[in-house]
Amino acid sequence: MITISPSARTLRSPFYQSTVEDGVVSFTLYNSMFLPTGFGDPEAEYWRLKNGVSIWDVAVQRQVQLKGRNAEKLAQILCPRDISKMQIGQGKYIPLCNHSGILINDPVLLKIDEDCFWFSIADSDVWSWARAINNERQLDVEVSEPDAAPLAIQGPKAEDLVAEICGSWVRDLKYFWFKPFKIDGIPVLVARSGYSKQGGFELYLLNKNLGKKLYNRIKEVGQKYDIGPGCPNLSERVESGLLSFGGDTDHSTNPFEVRLGDFVDLHLDGDIVGLPALKKIHEQGPKRHQLGAIFNDANVCSHPIFEWMSIYHRGEPVGSLTNRTWSFQLEKTIGFALVSKKVQAGESVLIETEQGMKEAELVDLPFV
């Protein structure tokens, strides 16, 4: 068996030991941390997420904290989305872009306080980016990593479980909103969010020494909901059309190509990194778009892909398949296609797989 060698660069989450005890069988690296990718029964993990409730160690969603008098100013310079009306306790999904309008991360932004914001980041270094812009603009904001590690509770039974642990007030939390709370003395932020479309919460643990205690508490109360271990689920997230930054994007992807255009506020003006480029890209019209691909052969391959696969239409290369998975719901092999606007949903394409050229149908996302 090939394994990942640990080192001081590969960090463990506060919930690492708990996932090992829960039978984790594989990890990937994400933001230089171990992210569980399976507990030995992918199908059971999928249906638990769709029909029940599962607990996920997603501490790899690390926090980039901006603190100081100019924290909001710096956050807005970094965000091509209007954050001026955000309230304390509110979150927003943000397509972070560089000066060329290329997507460099897709974090959730949390307004912690009037002078404090957190970016809950996908897999790329936002600390260096934020520090660089901060220093260039001489804003004197402190950019750091707070003691915070998200633990996700996902699935249709998540709300009943979290309400039992924290109180029925959690039922009134709006999407991406959050509130500080103490569970048995364990400080957390309770947020309605998570990387699935099955509903649920994320508990941001605010004391890394209490990971085991929090995990155990949730499992204890979760027993009657038949809770079990899980992790961001490839099959569910692809069916649901959720983007994976770095997996479904490359170094030339802009937000309009990957269905994040609604999160760009083009009317904004002032000093915002990437906004002039985004206005231009929007004006000229993006050249690619993201569609779904459904293979005609049932099970083309169930394991994830290492590299994007070329897609052809009438003999011409038109783009790439950026992920691929077995859909337990559709009982087909599906994936995301990042393709030229010349091809549309409803058309057939050929995809260059390790089993040769395979026919697939393009469809609009999400699949489900």
Q: Which is nearer to ligand THG, 121 or 349 (CB)?
A: 121
CB of 281 to ligand THG, least distance (A): 20
Q: Which residues bind ligand THG (CB under 6 A)?
A: 61, 93, 106-108, 120-122, 150, 193-195, 202, 242-243
Q: Which is nearer to ligand THG, 61 or 76 (CB)?
A: 61
Kindly state the tokens that stand for 255: 């937000």
- Across-strand partners of 117? 66, 111
CB of 47 to ligand THG, least distance (A): 21
CB of 253 to ligand THG, least distance (A): 14
Q: Which is nearer to ligand THG, 14 or 107 (CB)?
A: 107
Cβ neighbours of residue 356 under 8 Å, at least 6 residues apart?
Answer: none
CB of 179 to ligand THG, least distance (A): 14
In a 3-state reduction of DSSP, which class is residue 275? helix
CA distance 239 to 262: 20
Kindly state the tokens that stand for 355: 């089993």
CB of 57 to ligand THG, least distance (A): 13
- Judge if the upstream peptide bond of residue 229 is cis by omega within 30 degrees of 0: no
Q: Which amino acid is at 91?
A: G
Q: In terms of Cα–Cα distance, which of 247, 140, 233, 143 is closest to 194?
A: 233
Q: Which is nearer to ligand THG, 210 or 260 (CB)?
A: 260
Q: Which is nearer to ligand THG, 121 or 143 (CB)?
A: 121
CB 348 within 8 A of CB 291: no
* 126 alpha-carbon distance from chain centroid: 15
